[in-house]
Amino acid sequence: MANGYRPEIIQRAFVDFIGSRLHPFWSLTTPKLRLIARYTLSDDLIALRFESNRVFKQQTSELMGGWQGGQYLDLRVCIDGVYYQRSYSIVGLDHQPLWWLDDTTSSNTADQRHTVTIAIKPQGLVSNYLTKQMPLASVVDTSLPLGHFTLEQTSILRHEISENDKSIPLLFIAGGSGITPMLGLITQALSNGHQVALLHYSRTVSSKLQHQWQQLNEAYPDFTYHLIHTEEPTTYLAGTRCLSAEGLLSLNLPLADTQIFACGSQALLAGLYKAAAEITLPTDKQLRDNIIVESFGNALANVDISSNQTFDKTIPVEEHTVYLRSRQRQFSSDTTILAAAENADVRLAHGCRQGICQLCRCNKVSGVVKNIQTGKVSGDGYESIQTCINIAMTDVILDI
């Protein structure tokens, strides 16, 4: 009896397996990247440019319509027979020329291939291998572009900006290599007509990045930038080495209406939230509610049980129960959900434990959680969360 089922005579996975032995870059199902160039952006930041295979091009275009500024890729890299997965920020936007190339390089036919570029700070086994040891033409498996640190995370893209309307101001704050996701975000924001300001705190100076900001400043009058070299007092905002309330106020932005994107270390983000708490806005508004962050670490010490973020390392967290619906398991949690699960001998998927790699992301069916990096409290309904950076504020049910 016909039931509509049509078995594959030859499985696509089998074809992929054979094809990968003939040519590592070829695949019917797996997105792959081939290394074609490296560029030094600063003393501690290297850009890697990859050619993408057909699967990556098709799926990125058909499923996503291209990637957004601020997104990243998960690369799967084999080193001495062991596979490692790491996340790296994408530089720029889909089909955007690389701004650090000169005219002769960008006109080369090899650079007309569909490419994607990531930025890496060499500081570990995998990043050192990618930036210093992996031969050109090497092939790695990759995810499609991932991440929610994008303009679409806010309502700004849904605002219609007429010629008589003033665009919504955006403030980008980056520390060190936290500048990498900002490169595409800033270009996209300026293209959408927004007033943009950049604060970049760094111990090193990058002539290529400075040249990029100068070019954007010349092309877009509404773009301003401040490069704070932490070892050079003449570059400080409001005379202080670190981010402060006085520094934010010195930018002369309408902070109550300004969306803030921040990426960097916990020290930078802690300073931002502390500065935001010291700035008084109109009634019923808090500057911290305008902040969206991407960070390089987390600490439960930075959260309390109320709606306000503190920096007291001794604040207790109330205990709640986390239910895993599919596994029919439950455990008590008075720390991050991931840490509580491990304390109860329950294994959950995870990677970096810092809210970066997204491997711990799962769906929350019900209950309220709080993000220990941003201090934001979730709704009570169904949504996607990361277990490594969220604590339970009520009993929680996860679709795991």
pLDDT tens-digit map of 319-360: 899 999 999 999 999 889 998 998 899 999 887 777 777 788
The confidence score (pLDDT) of residue 172 equals 96
The amino acid sitting at 361 is R
Average pLDDT on 17-39 reads: 81
Find tokens 């301003």 and name the residue.
Answer: 224
The confidence score (pLDDT) of residue 17 equals 65
Is-contact 341 331, C-beta < 8 A?
Answer: yes
Residue 162 has pLDDT above 50, yes or no: no
Residue 53 CB neighbour total at 10 angstroms: 21
The confidence score (pLDDT) of residue 140 equals 94
Question: From the centroid of its chain, how far is CA 58?
Answer: 23
Which strand (E) or helix (H) includes residue 263? strand 259-264
**What 3-state DSSP class applies to 141?**
strand
- Which ranges constitute the DSSP H helices of 192-321? 207-219, 245-249, 266-277
Residue 348 CB neighbour total at 10 angstroms: 20
**What 3-state DSSP class applies to 301?**
helix
Rounded to whole angstroms, the Cα distance separating 74 from 87 reads: 4
Rounded to whole angstroms, the Cα distance separating 317 from 303 reads: 9
Is-contact 338 322, C-beta < 8 A?
Answer: no
- Structure confidence at residue 152 as a pLDDT band (50, 70, 90): confident
Instruction: Find, among 269, 189, 271, the residue nearest to 225 by Cα.
Output: 189
Instruction: Find, among 102, 31, 28, the residue nearest to 61 by Cα.
Output: 31
DSSP string spanning 163-208?
A: TTSPPPPEEEEEEGGGGTTHHHHHHHHHHTT--EEEEEEESS--HH
Residue 165 has pLDDT above 50, yes or no: no
The confidence score (pLDDT) of residue 319 equals 86
The confidence score (pLDDT) of residue 5 equals 55
Average pLDDT on 238-254 reads: 91
Strand ranges across the sheet with 361-366: 329-333, 320-324, 396-398, 361-366, 383-386
In angstroms, how far apart are the furthest CA atoms of the chain? 81
Which strand (E) or helix (H) includes residue 264? strand 259-264
Rounded to whole angstroms, the Cα distance separating 2 from 144 reads: 37
Per cent of the chain over pLDDT 90 is 31
> Which segments of 3-81 are extended strands (E)?
32-42, 45-52, 72-79
Average pLDDT on 85-98 reads: 80
Is-contact 340 332, C-beta < 8 A?
Answer: yes
Instruction: Find, among 358, 356, 367, 361, the residue nearest to 400 by Cα.
Output: 361
Residue 250 has pLDDT above 50, yes or no: yes
337 vs 303: which has the higher pLDDT: 337
